[in-house]
Amino acid sequence: MADWHRAWPAPAKINLFLHVVGRRADGYHLLQTVFRFLDFGDTLRCEPRHDDRIVLATPLPGVAPETDLTVRAATALRAATGAAAGVTLHLEKRLPMGGGLGGGSSDAATTLLALNQLWRTGKTSSQLQQIGLALGADVPIFVHGRSAFAEGVGERFADLHLKPAWYLVLVPAVAVPTPEIFRSAQLRRDTPAIAATDWRPGFGRNDLEPVACALYPEVARHLDWLRGYGDARMSGSGACCFVEFSGEASARAAFAALPADMRGFVAAGMDRHPIQVVSDE
């Protein structure tokens, strides 16, 4: 029963670049990106129940519990495995909604990883990724658990080993709805694709950034400030932005200079998810 007392981390991710290389007939956009995890995120705790209910003890304001990704992930895993157990989920949120850091997707993946162990369902990584993909395009990378070059709708991975780095991440006080960015007529959808082996640090850009900046000037303002320290980029569909540093001291010095009306955090990059990766064996 010891694992039931465990705190399960749900880390943030950033996109080191993000290109839209096409669009499928069903409307889904084809992407190429590099995912990296950060040593900063949400925390999930799971409590066993004596009935079969799935209960979120910490609902988010304005989000119906049954639509929360943690509840949906637990429900999907139970449906896929025939498990009859119930669970109470306690989620400590640190990642912003509509921030492009993968908060909801990370929470869903951590729920799958945690309950796969706690309920002893025995699902492999590939099986959990398939369950996760139905919940959201970013869920599989958190289940996969390694820094990776990703493509398709974000579900095909080539693992990468990235150099150690620290990041200053800014969190503008706006929530950017991902569908709004992807349906914009101004979004570029024809960036030439590359081979995963051709990617190098510093390559490319975020194709979603110009649209987000035009719709949400606060994103542009935060990026402009960060560019005083280097090649600043938006993560995902925004609103969060980041710049890379080679060491912690320089990242924290920049954070100390942050204007009073901006907020953010400093975090180290991680090559592996802090929860032990589930094998496919």
- Domain coordinates in residue numbering, the chain: 1-281
- Return the HEC string of the chain: CHHHHCEEEEEEEEEEEEEEEEECCCCCEEEEEEEEEEEEEEEEEEEECCCCCEEECCCCCCCCHHHCHHHHHHHHHHHHHCCCCCEEEEEECCCCCCCCCCHHHHHHHHHHHHHHHHCCCCCCHHHHHHHHHCCCCCHHHHHHCECEEEEECCCEEEECCCCCCEEEEECCCCCCCHHHHHCCCCCCCCCCCCCHHHCCCCCCCECCHHHHHHHCHHHHHHHHHHCCCCCCEECCCCCCEEEEECCHHHHHHHHHCCCCCCCEEEEEEECECCCCCCCCC
- The radius of gyration of the chain from alpha carbons, rounded to an integer in Å, stands at 19
Task: Judge whether residue 245 has pLDDT over 60.
Answer: yes
Would you state the pLDDT for residue 223? Answer: 98
Omega cis (within 30) before 251: no
Evaluate if residue 243 carries a pLDDT over 90: yes
Q: Per-residue pLDDT for 88 more than 90? A: yes
Does 262 score more than 80 pLDDT? yes
Query: Is pLDDT of 1 > 70?
Result: no
Q: What is the per-residue pLDDT across 92-101, written as a single tens digit (0 to 9) for each?
A: 999 998 899 9
Across 217-241, average pLDDT? 98
User: In angstroms, rounded to a whole number, what is the distance separating the alpha carbons of residues 246 and 213?
Assistant: 27
Fold of 1-281: Ribosomal Protein S5; domain 2 (3.30.230)
Q: What is the pLDDT of residue 154?
A: 76
What is the tens place of the pLDDT at every residue in 37-68?
999 999 999 999 999 999 999 998 888 888 99
Quick one: tokens of 271?
Answer: 């090559």
How much of the chain exceeds pLDDT 70, in percent? Answer: 99
Q: Tell me, what's the pLDDT at 28?
A: 87
Q: What's the pLDDT tens digit per position in 177-226?
A: 999 999 999 999 999 999 999 999 999 999 999 999 999 999 999 999 99
Catalytic residue annotation: 13, 138
Does the pTM surpass 0.75? The reply is yes
How far is residue 190 from each of residues 30, 149, 181, 208, measured CA to CA in Å? Answer: 10, 19, 15, 12
Predicted pLDDT of residue 62: 85
Q: pLDDT band at residue 2, thresholds of 50, 70 and 90?
A: low
Does residue 22 carry a pLDDT above 70? yes
